[in-house]
Amino acid sequence: MSPGHDQELAREFLRRQSDARALGAMVPPAHGGLGLSHAEYGEINRVVAEVSPSRQSLLTVHGMVCRALARWGTPAQRAEFLPELATGAVTGAFALTEEGAGSDVRRVALRARRTAGGWVLDGRKQWLTFGRTAQLFLVFARAEDAPEAAHPAGLPGGGGGHVALLVRRDDPGVYLRPAPPTSGFADAELAELELRDCRVPEGRALGRPGTALTHVAADSLVLGRLCVAFGASGLARAALSAALRRSVQREQFTGPLHRLQLVRGLLADAAVAVDGAELLCRRAARALDDRDEWAMSHVLTAKLAASRAATTATRTAAQLHGAAGLVDGGEVDRQVRDARVLEIIEGSTELLQDLVAEQALARHRADAAAEHSPRTPELRGGSHAA
Amino acid sequence: MSVSAVPPVSESQHAAPDEVRAVVTRFLSRYVDDPQSLVGVRLLTGGLLDSLAAVELIGHLERTFGLVMLDEDLDIDNFDSLDAITAFVGRKLDR
């Protein structure tokens, strides 16, 4: 792809959301998509979020649905769904969160019952980003006939008994309503999804029951977190620009704000956070493209750092705007509100801290093990290092 | 880019079950304090490993053994114990 093409795709997406080529970025060319790298898709997300984190979130969830299908769909599923997702004729929504299932996805309780002709779904999903306009939902449910389904929610366990099902908006028993208005992500078309005796035909499950949370959701969330990280770095950069503009234009005491030492401290901290976020995002994207064994660790680190950078930079922008930054719906007010969202979606800051710590420990154990057995085992012939 | 601990093994090369098991054990040991805790338990449905480890294991098997994971392979029974993973990798390499 030529340099600047990702910028062009981002601008096109901002102009014409419904059929923008960026919606096909995560779909393989064989199914009509662009098959972009993570690095390229990340840049599109970053540029879009500089203007609108709400609209960038469509790229996150739509990309996650495309990825789940491309990775785990059967040939028939890929042929049926990916071409329409690639053109944007159909947009996808990720239906995981429920009233009782947030950070702890094992509590997902929406019921899926096996029937002769497919599945029957009953239950509710919340906070579906761009759910109001989506035509295809990747719904995570608890399969009633799976043995693990009898376990009470919340007990230790993997994704036992859960199933990921593709539900079309026009399937019988699908009801959508707008979510309560939120302070951030005002333009993200948030919705609640209710499925009542919703019947979906055979061939709509991704993977087998039991792998929905451990593999389908977890793998999609890797891309989701990368997108949120890039989006956060875009928002952070935009907020830093707003802060710098204000510090130059606004004069108090003997000159512009930027001459005040405490203001310079705020600007410096924001600039360091934004630069760090951008570098970590690009490292994570490259690691995914290179299939680096620590790619997931880099993605988690980027999400944690970039969402915090957005908070730091937007708070600085708001603080330098004084009372003007408090105007309801003004530029910096919206940036502050959107930054709050980015510390919650695709894993809250606290959940991300837990996961990043786990990855740091894994790295430590792997390094220690490598030190104790410096010789790389050969997998040829019949012997191996224990 | 970090380098995988084990050089990739092409599908044409033979990997004995003991070797596969050793590679998998070494990889999963990074997620637990005591590698012995991996033996004879249900790794995923038993709650010892989380979903991130599950996804990373797939990537590790693909990189290390040159496997291509297909939609039909996505069965929890293939990944829920050391024995199951070893047998699954063996079946994939034999195909």
CA distances to A264, A288, A361, B52 from A357, in Å? 32, 20, 6, 13
In the predicted model, is pLDDT for residue A158 greater than 50?
no
Angstroms from A170 CA to nearest CA on chain B: 26
Taking CA atoms, B66 is separated from A293, A324, B59, B63, in Å, by 14, 58, 10, 5
Helix axes A218-249, A53-72, angle to 10 degrees: 160
Sort out which chain B residues have CB atoms less than 8 A from A371's CB and list them.
Answer: none
Q: Which residues pair with A192 in a beta bridge?
A: A177
Residue pLDDT, tens place only, A342-367? 999 999 999 999 999 999 999 999 99
Residue type, A66: C
Q: Quick one: which of A250, A268, A272, A348 has its CA closest to A307?
A: A348
Whether A177 and chain B come into contact, CB under 8 Å, resolves to no
**Searching chain B, which residue's CA lies closest to the CA of residue A220?**
B55
Q: What is the mean pLDDT of residues B55-83?
A: 94
Q: Which of residues 45-74 of A touch B (CB under 8 A)?
A: 72-74
- pLDDT at residue A31 greater than cutoff 70: yes
Q: Of A170-179, A296-305, B9-18, B40-49, which range is least confident? A: B9-18
φ and ψ at residue A170, rounded to 5 degrees: -95, 15
**A69 interaction partners in chain B (CB closer than 8 Å):** none
| Spatial contact of A111 and A78, defined as CB atoms under 8 Å apart | no
Q: What is the pLDDT of residues A226-261, one digit of tens each?
A: 999 999 999 999 999 999 999 999 999 999 999 999
pLDDT above 90 covers a percentage of chain B that reads: 80
Could you tell me which chain A residue has the CA closest to the CA of B12?
A380
Residues of chain A neighbouring B3 (CB-CB closer than 8 A): 293
pLDDT score recorded for residue A368: 94
| pLDDT surpasses 50 at A382 | no
- With a cut of 80, say whether residue A378 has pLDDT above it: no
* Burial category of A173 from C-beta neighbours within 10 Å (exposed 0-12, middle 13-18, buried 19 and up): middle
Task: Determine contact, residues A46/A284, Cβ cutoff 8 Å.
Answer: no
Average pLDDT, chain A: 92
pLDDT given for residue A2 in this prediction: 61
pLDDT at position A1: 56
Q: What is the distance in angstroms between the Cα of A43 and the nearest Cα belonging to chain B? A: 20
> A173-187, A299-313, B2-16, B31-45: which has the minimum mean pLDDT?
B2-16
Q: How many C-beta atoms lie closer than 10 Å to residue A177's C-beta?
A: 11
Instruction: Give the mean pLDDT of A107-132.
Output: 96
At residue B14, the pLDDT reads 62
Neighbours of A224 (CB within 10 A): 25
Work out the percent of chain B whose per-residue pLDDT is above 70: 85
pLDDT digits (tens, 9 = 90+) for A64-104: 999 999 999 999 999 999 999 999 999 999 999 999 999 99
Q: What does the pLDDT read at residue A3?
A: 62
pLDDT score, position A148: 45
A351 in B contact zone (CB under 8 Å): no
Instruction: Inform me whether the pLDDT recorded for B1 exceeds 50.
Output: no
Mean pLDDT of chain B: 87
CB contact at 8 A, A166 and A84: no
Q: Identify the residue with better confidence: A142 or A17.
A: A142
pLDDT at A381 over 70: no
Helix, strand, coil % over all residues of chain A, rounded to 5: 55, 15, 30
Q: Is it the case that residue A329 has pLDDT exceeding 80?
A: yes
How close are the terminal C-alpha atoms of chain B, in Å? Answer: 30
- pLDDT for res A19: 86
Q: Is the pLDDT of residue A147 over 70?
A: no
Q: Which two tokens stand for residue A369?
A: 């093990």
Give the minimum alpha-carbon distance from B94 to chain A in angstroms, rounded to a whole number.
15
- Residue B95's pLDDT is 77
pTM for the model: 0.91
Q: Which residues of A touch B4 (CB under 8 A)?
A: 293
Interface test with B, best of A208, A214, A286, A372 (most B CBs within 10 A): A214
For A32-62, write each residue's pLDDT tens digit: 999 999 999 999 999 999 999 999 999 999 9
Q: What whole-number distance in Å separates Cα of residue A247 and Cα of residue A245?
A: 5
Q: Is the pLDDT of residue A150 over 80?
A: no
**How many CB atoms are located within 10 Å of the residue B38 CB?**
18
Measured between CB atoms, which of A72, A369, A382 is closest to B71?
A72
Q: A379 near B22, Cβ under 8 Å?
A: no
**Residue A383, number of CB atoms within 10 A of its CB:** 11
> Are residues A365 and B1, on separate chains, in Cβ contact within 8 Å?
no
Is residue A204 within 8 A of residue A238, CB to CB? The reply is no
Check if A217 contacts B (Cβ < 8 Å).
yes
Count the Cβ atoms, other than its own, within 10 Å of residue A172: 11
Query: Which residue on chain A is closest to B61 by alpha carbon?
Result: A293
Quick one: tokens of A341?
A: 């969202």
Q: What is the ipTM of this complex?
A: 0.85
Q: Of B25, B68, B29, B56, give the one whose Cα is nearest residue A297.
A: B56
Whether pLDDT at A386 is above 50: no
DSSP string, A313-370: HHHHHHHHTGGGGGSTT-HHHHHHHHHHHHTTTTS-HHHHHHHHHHHHHHHHHHHHHH
Cβ pairs A/B, distance under 8 A: 130
Burial of A321 per CB tally in 10 Å (0-12, 13-18, 19+)? buried
A369 CB neighbours in chain B (<8 A) are 26, 29-30
A107-117 CB burial, b ≥16 within 10 A, e <16? ebbbebbbeee
Which residues from B are below 8 Å from A when comparing CB atoms? 1-7, 9, 13-16, 18-19, 22-23, 26, 29-31, 43-47, 49-52, 54-56, 58-60, 62-63, 71-72, 74-77, 79-80
Maximum pairwise Cα distance, chain B: 35
For residue B90, count CB atoms less than 10 angstroms from its CB and return exposed for 0-12, middle for 13-18, buried for 19 or more.
middle
Percent of chain A with pLDDT strictly greater than 70:
91
Q: Which long-range contacts (CB under 8 A, 24 or more apart) does A381-385 make?
A: A382/B16, A384/B16, A384/B18, A384/B19, A384/B22, A385/B22
Say whether A379 and B31 touch across the interface (CB within 8 A).
Answer: no
DSSP state of B13: S
Q: Do A365 and B46 touch (CB under 8 A)?
A: no
